[in-house]
Structures are given as structure tokens and as C-alpha cells.
């Protein structure tokens, strides 16, 4: 039994999408993601720019801006960037930090392998996507 | 602060811009980390004595990762005049001599044996307390390196020597050695111990990345891959993907408890030596107490694209600490800011930025004729060492100036260029996609709107073709032309 886990592992354990992982799995995941810090007002995801990444928020707050409209607010545990990576297209919106933001980042080209190696994370992401789709459909109806 | 390659380059560049400054260092001589490391006394950054361009030219810098960047041609490509040519990786003493010679010949003055110990604000000045009295300045630049041992929180790791405490290789003769960490420092030690150790285990939670697969300097460099080959050929070395659960010190040996992520299976190793090749952090003293935010496992200072603290304006960083200002990381490609080949360019840009922002020294901005513009851009893409060493991180920027026409605005951080927009401008970078193709990218900013124009790749990396010319003209029409 480990008494003093890494900070990073501990932080991951608290996020919904990693809730089903064992400790050694968490540790492996922690080692494959990079932490990044974004100052207030810094752009994280850029509309129209190729080669983007998948982000998971650890701390802080960001907004999704399509054109000039704020369409969503993102907080701890939320993730973004996966749509452009999965579709192989540049993002269609900006994501901007509105409070200092800490994220875990996975470069786009590693996402497929990451999801295949961690099917339980993949399932959690799928559930979250289903919720987003349901909300959007309801909104439209 | 600091007399490693980072501090030396910045000090040199500030001097040539006429910015008065002082350099202090805790060391007794120039060279920084290279006064001691790499442990096995040979670098992992190369300098090719023979290359397609003449030594001392700007284009040659692409082939020489280790020389600092002077304006005077007689001080350029210094490394080539010092290394003995037995390997294109200079030895550690040769690198130390290269840096000390640069400082001496270009007149970089350092107050050695002077350790910065604490920091405070006094009006519009920073006060740096040192072992040699107090220094006051408008702008501090901390180029204190990333070579302070860092260990993850593993029970029992307190008893384990770090890379920094590795003993002479022959003292590992006939012993079982367990190395924690599968990055370059771990593989460097394993490579050096191959002929001595009875058994070598290299372990960490995630699989080793190799530079030839990541296509970047993130990953184990080819020259340290020998232990990996030994492992896959079942020669006795074990490369293990497992978390280290705990380490127990016994009479004369260690028990290392490991657990594999997938199978959740436990393995216990009885070994004579354990070495933590678990990485390094930066000795930034009390800066976090002043509000300097840090990032990542090893807590490096979070920085803006111009290497200023993200949270405390006016506090700058230099040298390898720039690795914590990662830029856009397009297609996952990291900057080379951790190595001399990358941060030497950042250092030159930082000096220019500080000179302009804090000391009203405007850098030179030459005019480019309309007729030359396209070939200028494509020649930069083909030969500019800044763009080759810092892909998708540094960009050559050209702006349209109402009075002067088309103006070369120098090399700047790409992220800064994209975030500021404004004037009609074009920036050119080199980038690499997931398929490993390297190609130039133009970013045009027209009336505040930015767009990205990737140009075709070229098998010989020569972008001065008619196809590229057409693509450039199409992109810059209406922006600069
Ligand atoms: C094991 C290892 C091997 C590496 N091999 C290579 C390689 O082969 N090629 C390469 O390009 N890069 C290599 N690197 C990366 C390397 O660290 C940098 O490229 C380079 O040395 C960093 O230069 P620097 O000036 O930023 O820091 P350093 O060279 O570490 O210099 C830091 C300076 O700051 C001073 N300092 C620190 N604290 C204080 C204080 N409180 N007060 C005053 N002064 C202080 C130190 O005395 C020193 O002079 C390696 C790194 C490691 C850890």
C-alpha cells in the first residue's frame, strides 16, 4: 500500500473521468499527460489553428467563444479539444481562460492510443459527450 | 542570475544592445551545469565539424547545437575550435571550455561565488539579497538552471541517491542496480553502467519514449538506447513499465516493490543499489512566496511567451527554465527550449524584448524591398537556424509599416505574434505534423484577423521552389503586397 502518492496522481483521482482507474493506472496516466498553466485571458484553444490538443481542467475557469459569443463555461473536471482532434479538423471555437487555469494536456495525435489504452476513461468521456448532445438537442427542441 | 549558457547568452545580448546589467553566479567559473554533467562526460547535443554551410555563418548554426550566438563572426561556432573531433557529441570538459571561452572573449563579466538568497520589492526596484550583499535592479532575470535534484513522493525514496549522487562507474562493478526513471538521465546512467553492473533494471510507470519515435528531443536519445536493445534481446537488462510502490533499505541491499498498471501484478526486486533518475527542478528560492506560479510535477515557473512570470510581471527567466514556456505545441511538437540549441535563441530575443520594453532601446528593423519579400521568406524557411531549432515556437515576422514599407520585425515567439495581431503582418515558421512531414507555415494578419497557410513539404527541405513561391504570393497578397 502506498502512503504518500504523487500530487499529480492524487489530483487525477479526484476527477470524474478518471474515477474508475486503479492507482497504478492513475500513475501511468499522470505520467503521460503534461500540466499547463494559462494566465487569465490567455487563449488555450484557437479557432482555425491546426494541430491542437485534448485538455482536462484541473483548476480555474475557461469560456468557449464561437465568433464573438460566449457559448459555454468550463470548470474543474471538464474537458475540451477532443472534437477537433477526433475529427481531424481545426477547432471551430476559441477557449479562453477567464481565471488562471491549470489543465492536463494530451497532444492530439496521442489521443486515440490513450483512449484505447484506457477504455474506462473512454467510457466516461462517451457518457459526458452523450450528456452534451442530449442537452443540445433539448435546447433546440 | 546564473553563469550557465542561458545567463551568458542573455548577458552578451544585453551588452550588445547597450543595456547596463550585472551577472552574479553561485559558481566559481562559467559553464553552469556543464561544469559537472552529463555524468558520463559526453553531451547529447551535437556539433558537426563538417556541414553544408561554412562555420561561423548563420546557416551553420543549424548544425552546431552548442555554440552561443555572438554578432562578431570571429566568436561564432566556437565549439568547433575546441572539440577534438573524436565524436560529434562534444565531451563535457570541451563544452565547459566552449562556454568559458565565449564569456572571456566577448567580455561577459560575472561576479562569481555570489549566491542569490532572497528577493523583495522596494518601490519600482527589485532587491536581490545575496551572500555578497544586496543588488537592486529594474528587471531581474533568473537563469538558475533546472538541475536541482527532484524526487517523486515514493515511500523510502529519501534513502535513495539521486542522479546527482551517482558514484564513479567502477564502484557498481558486479552489483545489481535499480534505476528509477526512463528518461535521458536514467538511460544515460544505464548506458554507462552496462559494462559494470551485474544486472540493471530501469523502471517507471509509463513506457519509455524514444526520440526517433517522438521526432523531438522529448524521448530517450538514440545514443542512450543501448540498454533498451539489451532488454529487447533479453540480454539481462530489464526495462519495466510499473509504478514504484515503496523502497525498503535492508542490510547492504534494497527491496524495491513495483506494480504493473495493466495486470495489477506486483514484482519485488532485491538489488544492491537504487538510483533516482527522477528529474530536476529549478532553485527559484522564495519566488513562489512573491506570487510566482509554478507548473508541472517539478514545479517550474509558469511563463508568458516572452519568458516573464505569468503571475508576477517584471520577473523574467532565462536558459533551460524556458522549457516551462511551451508555446503552442502544435501537433504535440515540443520546443527545444530545454537545450542550448533552443534557449540560446530565446535568450537573444529576451534581451531584445527587455531592452525595448524596459530601457527604450529600439531594435533595428531593416526594410525589405517588395521584389525580395518572397525569396526572403522562403530562404528563411529553408535556412533560418531559429526556425529549425524552435519549430512552431519562433517565427520570423514581417510587418507593413505605413511610413517605411515592408519591415523585418525580427524573430519572435509565435504565440506572441498570434495573440497580438494588430498591424498587417506575416509570420513564417517551420512545423511538423503527426506524419513527420516538415513544412513552412505562414500566418497572415490582415485587419486584425489571423489565418494559417501551411505550405507544401519538400523531401530535401528546400522550400525555394516555384510551387512555394506561388503559395507565398497567394497568402501575402493584400497583407504585405
Ligand atoms: C543531466 C543533464 C544533462 C544535460 N545535457 C545537455 C546536453 O548535452 N546538451 C544541452 O544542450 N542541454 C543539456 N541539458 C540541459 C541543460 O541543463 C541546459 O541546456 C543548460 O545547461 C542550461 O543552462 P542554464 O544556463 O539555463 O542553466 P545551468 O547550466 O544549470 O546554470 C545555472 C546557473 O545558475 C547558477 N545559480 C543557481 N542558483 C543560483 C543562486 N541562488 N544564486 C546565484 N546563482 C545561481 C548556477 O551556479 C549556474 O551558474 C542537460 C540537463 C541535465 C540535467
Confidence at A4, pLDDT banded by 50, 70, 90: very low
| pLDDT tens for each residue of A48-81 | 999 999 999 999 999 999 989 999 999 999 999 9
Where do you find CATH 3.50.50.60 in chain B? 5-146+281-359, 157-278
**Position in ligand 1 atom list of the atom nearest CA B188:** 1
Looking at the DSSP assignment, which residues form a beta bridge with residue B250? B253
The domains of chain A are located at 34-136
Tell whether A100 lies on the interface with B, counting CB pairs under 8 A: yes
- Residue A1: closest CA among chain B residues belongs to which residue? B245
User: Predicted ipTM?
Assistant: 0.93
**pTM (predicted TM-score):** 0.97
A101 alpha carbon – ligand 1 mean position (Å): 29
A77 CB-contact burial (10 Å; exposed 0-12 / middle 13-18 / buried 19+):
middle
**Position in ligand 1 atom list of the atom nearest CA B31:** 29
Residue B26 to residue B10: CA distance in whole angstroms: 17
Domain B157-278 has CATH 3.50.50.60: yes
pLDDT score, position B448: 83
A71 alpha carbon – ligand 1 mean position (Å): 45
Residue B315 to residue B281: CA distance in whole angstroms: 18
- Residue A23: closest CA among chain B residues belongs to which residue? B261
Q: Which CATH number fits domain A34-136: 2.70.180.20, 2.40.10.10, 1.10.10.10, 2.60.120.10?
A: 2.60.120.10
CB neighbours of residue B26 within 10 Å: 17
Is B88 in contact with B45 (CB distance < 8 Å)? no
Residues ≥6 apart with Cβ < 8 Å to A6: A27, A30, B152, B153, B297
Chain A residues lying within 8 Å of B296, measured CB to CB: 34-35
Burial B430-451 (b: 16+ CB within 10 A, else e): bbbbeeeebbbbbbbbbeeebe
| Mean pLDDT for chain B overall | 96
Is B25 in contact with B18 (CB distance < 8 Å)? no
Give the residue-averaged pLDDT of B88-117.
98
B28 alpha carbon – ligand 1 mean position (Å): 14
Give the residue-averaged pLDDT of A94-100.
97
Stretch (H or E) spanning A56 = strand A53-66
DSSP states of B342-387 as a string? HHHHHHHHHHHHHHHHHH--PPP--B--GGGHHHHHHHHHHH-HHH
Residue B390 to residue B393: CA distance in whole angstroms: 5
| pLDDT tens for each residue of B158-175 | 999 999 999 999 999 999
Burial B220-239 (b: 16+ CB within 10 A, else e): bbebbbbbbebbeeeeebbb
B283 alpha carbon – ligand 1 mean position (Å): 11
pLDDT > 90: what percent of chain A?
77
CATH number of B5-146+281-359: 3.50.50.60
Is B292 in contact with B274 (CB distance < 8 Å)? no
Residues ≥6 apart with Cβ < 8 Å to B68: B5, B8, B9, B12, B78, B99, B102, B340, B344
| pLDDT tens for each residue of B375-399 | 999 999 999 999 999 999 999 999 9
Mutate to test the interface with B, among A10, A21, A28 (most CBs of B within 10 A): A28
Residue B396 to residue B385: CA distance in whole angstroms: 11
B332 closest CB neighbour out of A3, A27, A110: A110
Residue B139 to residue B129: CA distance in whole angstroms: 14
pLDDT score, position A141: 65
C-alpha distances in Å from residue B111, one per residue of B2, B3, B23, B211, B317: 10, 9, 6, 38, 19
Q: Give SS3 for B319.
A: helix
Give the residue-averaged pLDDT of B93-102.
98
Give the mutation target among B1, B3, B4 for probing the ligand 1 site: most ligand atoms within 8 A of CB. B4
Judged against a pLDDT cut of 60, whether residue B225 lies above it is answered with yes
Amino acid at each position: 500500500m502506498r502512503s504518500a502518492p504523487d500530487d499529480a496522481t492524487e489530483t487525477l483521482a479526484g476527477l470524474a473521468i478518471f474515477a474508475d482507474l486503479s492507482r497504478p493506472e492513475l500513475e501511468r496516466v499522470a505520467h503521460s499527460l503534461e500540466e499547463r498553466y494559462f494566465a487569465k485571458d490567455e487563449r488555450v484553444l484557437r479557432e482555425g489553428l491546426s494541430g491542437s490538443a485534448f485538455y482536462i481542467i484541473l483548476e480555474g475557469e475557461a469560456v468557449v467563444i464561437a465568433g464573438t459569443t460566449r457559448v459555454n463555461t468550463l470548470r474543474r473536471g471538464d474537458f475540451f479539444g477532443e472534437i477537433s482532434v477526433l475529427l481531424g479538423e481545426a477547432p471551430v471555437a476559441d477557449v479562453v481562460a477567464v481565471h488562471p487555469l491549470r489543465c492536463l494536456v494530451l497532444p492530439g495525435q496521442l489521443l486515440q492510443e490513450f483512449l484505447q489504452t484506457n477504455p474506462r476513461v473512454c467510457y466516461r468521456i462517451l457518457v459526458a459527450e452523450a450528456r452534451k448532445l442530449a442537452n443540445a438537442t433539448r435546447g433546440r427542441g | 542570475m546564473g553563469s550557465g549558457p542561458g545567463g551568458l547568452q542573455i548577458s552578451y545580448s544585453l551588452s550588445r544592445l547597450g543595456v547596463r546589467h550585472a551577472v552574479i553566479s553561485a559558481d566559481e567559473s562559467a559553464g553552469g551545469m556543464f561544469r559537472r554533467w552529463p555524468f558520463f562526460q559526453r553531451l547529447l547535443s551535437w556539433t558537426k565539424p563538417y556541414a553544408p554551410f561554412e562555420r561561423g555563418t548563420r546557416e551553420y548554426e543549424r548544425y552546431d547545437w552548442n555554440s552561443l550566438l555572438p554578432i562578431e563572426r570571429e566568436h561564432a561556432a566556437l565549439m568547433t575550435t575546441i572539440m577534438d573531433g573524436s565524436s560529434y557529441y562534444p565531451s563535457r570538459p570541451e563544452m565547459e571550455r566552449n562556454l568559458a571561452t565565449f564569456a572571456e572573449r566577448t567580455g561577459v563579466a560575472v561576479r562569481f561565488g555570489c549566491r542569490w538568497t532572497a528577493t523583495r520589492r522596494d518601490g519600482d526596484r527589485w532587491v536581490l539579497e545575496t551572500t555578497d550583499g544586496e543588488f537592486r535592479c529594474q528587471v531581474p532575470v533568473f537563469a538558475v538552471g533546472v538541475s536541482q535534484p527532484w524526487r517523486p513522493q515514493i515511500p523510502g525514496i529519501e534513502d535513495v541517491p539521486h542522479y546527482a549522487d551517482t558514484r564513479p562507474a567502477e564502484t557498481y562493478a558486479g552489483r545489481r542496480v535499480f534505476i528509477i526513471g526512463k528518461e535521458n538521465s536514467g538511460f544515460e546512467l544505464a548506458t554507462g553502467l552496462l559494462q559494470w553492473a551485474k544486472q540493471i533494471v530501469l523502471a517507471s510507470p509509463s513506457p519509455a519514449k524514444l526520440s526517433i519515435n517522438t521526432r523531438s528531443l522529448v524521448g530517450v536519445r538514440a545514443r542512450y538506447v543501448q540498454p533498451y536493445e539489451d532488454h529487447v534481446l533479453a540480454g539481462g537488462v530489464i526495462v519495466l513499465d510499473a509504478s514504484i510502490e515503496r523502497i525498503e533499505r535492508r542490510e547492504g541491499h534494497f527491496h524495491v516493490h513495483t506494480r504493473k498498471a495493466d495486470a495489477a501484478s506486483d514484482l519485488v526486486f532485491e538489488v544492491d543499489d537504487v538510483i533516482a533518475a527522477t528529474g530536476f527542478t529549478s532553485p527559484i528560492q522564495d519566488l513562489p512566496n512573491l506570487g510566482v506560479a509554478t507548473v508541472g510535477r517539478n514545479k517550474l515557473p509558469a511563463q508568458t511567451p516572452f519568458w516573464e512570470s505569468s503571475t508576477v510581471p517584471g520577473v523574467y527567466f532565462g536558459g533551460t527554465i524556458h522549457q516551462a514556456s511551451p508555446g503552442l505545441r502544435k501537433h504535440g511538437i515540443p520546443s527545444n527550449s530545454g537545450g542550448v540549441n533552443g534557449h540560446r535563441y530565446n535568450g537573444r530575443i529576451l534581451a531584445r524584448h527587455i531592452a525595448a520594453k524596459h530601457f527604450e532601446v529600439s531594435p533595428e528593423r531593416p526594410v525589405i524591398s517588395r521584389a525580395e519579400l518572397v525569396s526572403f521568406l522562403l530562404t528563411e524557411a529553408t535556412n533560418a537556424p531559429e526556425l529549425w531549432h524552435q519549430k512552431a515556437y519562433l517565427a520570423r515576422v514581417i510587418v507593413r509599416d505605413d511610413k517605411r514599407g515592408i519591415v523585418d520585425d525580427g524573430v519572435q515567439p509565435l504565440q506572441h505574434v498570434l495573440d497580438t495581431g494588430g498591424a498587417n503582418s506575416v509570420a513564417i515558421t517551420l512545423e511538423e505534423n503527426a506524419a513527420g512531414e516538415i513544412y513552412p507555415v505562414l500566418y497572415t494578419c490582415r485587419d486584425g484577423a489571423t489565418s494559417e497557410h501551411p505550405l507544401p513539404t519538400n523531401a530535401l527541405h528546400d522550400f525555394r521552389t516555384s510551387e512555394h513561391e506561388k503559395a507565398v504570393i497567394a497568402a501575402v497578397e493584400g497583407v504585405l503586397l
